[in-house]
């Protein structure tokens, strides 16, 4: 089983214009998920089995002051995961996709 965990969290209002942090959120929380899928999916399809688990957040479902970019990236994780789940179901690949909310403490949080 391959597991890839991608998560970055920074809580700042948009007016602070911390574009470097926005880019880091997008790079890790969106591009990281896509790159993880690109790495794992071919092998999972080849072996006709696998389970991709993406970490999301309840912040993807609501608005929080200071959390706009973070919330958007986690909503993207939800959409990417659900789309992949449906695509793999149609393909009959036996690759499972799950989205789980969670908090991960890293040097970036």
The one catalytic residue among 44, 70, 71, 99: 70
Write out pLDDT tens, residues 28-45. Answer: 999 999 999 999 999 999
Q: Is 70 one of the catalytic residues?
A: yes
Nearest to 96 by CA among 109, 76, 82, 107: 82
Confidence at residue 9, expressed as pLDDT on a 0 to 100 scale: 56
Helix intervals (H) in the chain: 19-25, 32-46, 68-91
Q: Tokens representing 8?
A: 């970055």
* Secondary-structure breakdown of the chain: helix, strand, coil percentages, each rounded to the nearest 5: 55, 15, 35
pLDDT per residue as tens digits for the range 77-101: 999 999 999 999 999 999 999 988 8
Note the pLDDT of residue 1.
43
Pairwise CA distance, residues 85 & 36, whole Å: 15
Which residue carries 């479902």 as its tokens?
61
68-91 vs 32-46: helix crossing angle, rounded to 10: 10
Residues 104, 100: Cα–Cα separation, whole Å: 12
Distance CA 55, CA 34 (A): 13
Computed on alpha carbons and rounded to an integer, the radius of gyration of the chain in Å comes to 15
Indicate the pTM of the whole model: 0.82
């Amino acid at each position: 089983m391959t597991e890839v965990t991608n998560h970055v969290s920074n809580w700042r209002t948009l007016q602070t214009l911390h574009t470097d942090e926005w880019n880091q959120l997008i790079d890790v929380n969106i591009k990281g998920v896509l790159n993880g899928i690109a790495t794992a999916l071919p092998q999972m399809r080849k072996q006709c089995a696998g389970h991709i688990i993406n970490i999301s957040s309840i912040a993807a479902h609501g608005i929080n002051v200071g959390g706009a970019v973070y919330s958007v990236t986690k909503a993207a994780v939800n959409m990417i995961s659900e789309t992949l789940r449906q695509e793999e179901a149609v393909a009959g690949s036996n690759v499972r996709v799950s989205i789980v909310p969670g908090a991960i403490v890293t040097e970036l949080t």
